[in-house]
Every structure is written in C-alpha cells, then in structure tokens.
A = this chain, B = another copy of it.
Amino acid sequence: MITIAEIAKLVGGVVHGDASLEILAAAPIRDAQVGYITLADDPKFESKLRACQASAVIIPADFPKSEKTCVVVDDVHTAFAKIVKYLDPPVVDSFAGISPTAIISPSAKIGEGCVIHPYAVIGDNVQLSDRVHVGAGVVIEAGCSIDEDTRLYPRCVLYSKTKIGKRCVLHAGVVVGAFGFGYLTKQGKHYLSAQLGNVIIEDDVEIGANTTIDRGTYNATVIGEGTKIDNQVMIAHNCRLGKHNLICSQVGIAGSCRTGDYVVLAGQVGIGDHVDIGTGATLAAKSGVMNHIPAKSVYMGIPATPIKDQMKTFAVVNKLSQWYGKWKDMLTRIERIEALIQSIDSTSLTSDSDDDLRNGHQGKRAA
C-alpha cells in the first residue's frame, strides 16, 4: 500500500488529482484493476486507459490528462519500475563469494569479486576477469576467458576456448561452442568436419535461455558487441553477427552467415547458409532467407521478399480462391466469343489475325 503523494515523491512526479489515494498494486493497462496504478506512454492508448479500471496512472507531460488520478513524470517506464519495486521488491540472492563445491582447475585464474555458485566446474587455464558471476552448475571448459562483469546463469555450458566480453549476460541452459553441423559423406558414412575454431562473444551481448551457438570450423563464430539474442536461438558454425543486432526467439541461422549492425530478426526466422544480411535490415517473423538481404531493407515471407511486395502478394493470395472461379469463367467466355466469331460470316472479316484465331489456338471451339 502506498499513497499517490508517496508515489509522486518516490518517482519525482507531479500529481493531478487525489494525492491521498491509496494504491494497492501496479500493473499495465490490460491487467490493472480498481486500486491499481497503471502506466500509459503513448496517446494512442488513451481509449484503453479510459476503459481500464485502474485508479491512477503514470503519464508523460504530453499525455492528455485522464479522469483518473495522474502522476506526470519524464520517464514513465523508469518511474513505474520504481513503484513496482516498492510494492513487490525483487528477491535478492544472498549468495556471495566462491562456493567450496565449485571445482576450479588450479591453472584457472579468477579475478577480484567473482561470484561462483555451487557445483560450477571451471577447466584448465580458464580466465575470469573481475566480478564475473558464475551460476550454479555452470560448466566452463578449458581455455575459456570471460571479461569483467559478465554473468552466466545456472547450467550454461561453454566449450573450450570460448571468449566472452564485458557485461554480457548468458541465461540458463545456453550452450556456446558445441560442434558445427558439417559432415563430409564418404562411402555412405558422414564424417564430422574440423572443429578447430571457437566462439567469440563481444561486450554487452545478452543471450537467452537454451540458445546454442556453435564453434567455427577453423576460426571463430563471432557475436558482435551489443547484440541481444532471445531464447532458443540457434547460431551455426562460422557465423559472424554484427553489432547491436536483435535476434528474437527460435531464430535459426545456418553456417557461415554474416549480419551487419542493427539487424533485426523476428521470431522463428530461418536463414540459409552463407547468407549476408545487410546493416539495418529487418526480417519479419517466420521469414525464410535463401539469398543476401540488402542493408536497411525489410523482408518477409518464404522465400523472403521485400515486405511491400510480400504484403501485396498476401493480399492477392487471400483472394485466389475467389479468382479461381473467375479464371475458369473468363476462359469459358473467351472460348464462347471465339466460337461466335468463328461463326460470323467470314466476308465481314478483313484482318489476317482472323486466320490465327481460327487455326492457331488451343481453345475449345464450336464445331
């Protein structure tokens, strides 16, 4: 429980309405009930806000004042997060230091302020810089290095020689550096390609739960600085992702692809091998990409097509079953016209094309 006056103080906001109102909880417009405070960051939500039962709302200065009690702030999301934290404080993990159950190779180097949870296993010559946080049951194979302030959530596995930059976050179940799926088939058997490369993850990369990134064949698979990757994404051997990409859930990128910077791949996109995606390009959800995608373009569909063309195609495809009947009808009508013309006294016709029509065509004719 908190009053609007207290909220305004907490978030540095200005109250319009009843400052003594007591607030029970905070929730987005869809979920807010009587006694709740909600948030609205865009005037397009005004009607939804009006329909919602929230008793109060956090809004920016340019938002129309609501009938509800308003708290006006500069940054709606930051303010709202403060309120949520106040009403339902996040749980803080009391664990610190290095668990005596963590198994750390004598040749590994562990920086200052690292936190290593129980049952983590850290191999030979691993290097952790300062303040690296290793979750429970994480396995870090020999020769890996992790730069400062990076956090690995429980059960991540890093295969040998993986390099991770500063301030990265790897969520539970992430596997980095497993073998690339490359085989040479000889006499009916598949032989695995070389697995001599590794994975390099640059600074400020975040990787979602159960995502997998395979090691390169001879060199590195690279994830560029600031790129964010959602859960259950698959990035194959030899890929080189640029900086500040956003790769949504369940995307699959086959071997040896490259992306520029600020590429956005929406959910379940699939990219064939050796494809380049230009800087600033966006692929809509479920797109299937077989060819290079130009910079700054937006593509959609299987196979991926510029979105404007694809939207037109979708619109036409939607009407296809209606048109199917029309085509049949059109064909019938053309045949009737042709038959009719056939039957007209030929003395009234003068063109050569008449002969073409009579003799050359596959249409059904009246006898």
A76 to chain B, nearest CB (A): 11
What's the number of copies of this chain in the assembled complex? 3
- CB of A91 within 8 A of CB of B124, answer yes
A191 to chain B, nearest CB (A): 10
Interface of A is mostly: loop
A270 to chain B, nearest CB (A): 5
- CB of A124 within 8 A of CB of B94, answer yes
- Does A190 reach chain B (CB closer than 8 Å)? yes
- Return the contact of A254 from the options B137, B249, B323, B344 (Cβ within 8 A): B249
- CB of B139 within 8 A of CB of A137, answer yes
CB-based closest 5 A-B pairs:
A343-B351, A91-B143, A312-B321, A175-B209, A157-B172
Question: Which stretch (A5-13, A59-67, A225-233, A291-299) binds chain B?
Answer: A225-233
- CB of B93 within 8 A of CB of A160, answer yes
- Does A26 reach chain B (CB closer than 8 Å)? yes
Query: 1/0 contact trace for A74-91 toward B, CB 8 Å?
Result: 000100110011001011
Residue picked from A101, A155, A312, most chain B C-beta under 10 Å = A155
For A179, the chain B residues whose CB sits under 8 A away are 169, 171, 206, 208
Shortest Cβ distance from A245 into B: residue: B190
For A105, the chain B residues whose CB sits under 8 A away are 94
Residue picked from A99, A171, A357, most chain B C-beta under 10 Å = A171
A366 to B352 Cα, complex, angstroms: 9
Evaluate whether A31 and B124 lie within 8 angstroms (CB atoms) in the complex, with A214-B231, A285-B270 already known.
Answer: no
Interface size on A, residues (CB 8 A): 141
A309 to B305 Cα, complex, angstroms: 19
- CB of B340 within 8 A of CB of A331, answer no
For A77, the chain B residues whose CB sits under 8 A away are 184, 193-194
Question: Which stretch (A15-23, A49-57, A115-123) binds chain B?
Answer: A115-123
Within 8 A of B (CB), among A315-361: 315-321, 323-324, 326-327, 329-331, 333-334, 336-345, 348-354, 356-357, 361
For A330, the chain B residues whose CB sits under 8 A away are 327, 330-331, 334
Within 8 A of B (CB), among A151-201: 153-155, 157, 159-161, 169, 171-173, 175, 178-179, 181, 183-184, 188-190, 192-194, 196
- CB of A31 within 8 A of CB of B357, answer no
- Does A113 reach chain B (CB closer than 8 Å)? no
- CB of B333 within 8 A of CB of A323, answer no
A343 to B155 Cα, complex, angstroms: 82
Shortest Cβ distance from A214 into B: residue: B231
- CB of A157 within 8 A of CB of B153, answer yes
A124 to chain B, nearest CB (A): 5
- CB of B361 within 8 A of CB of A350, answer no
- Return the contact of A119 from the options B80, B119, B327, B331 (Cβ within 8 A): B119
- Does A236 reach chain B (CB closer than 8 Å)? yes
- Does A131 reach chain B (CB closer than 8 Å)? no
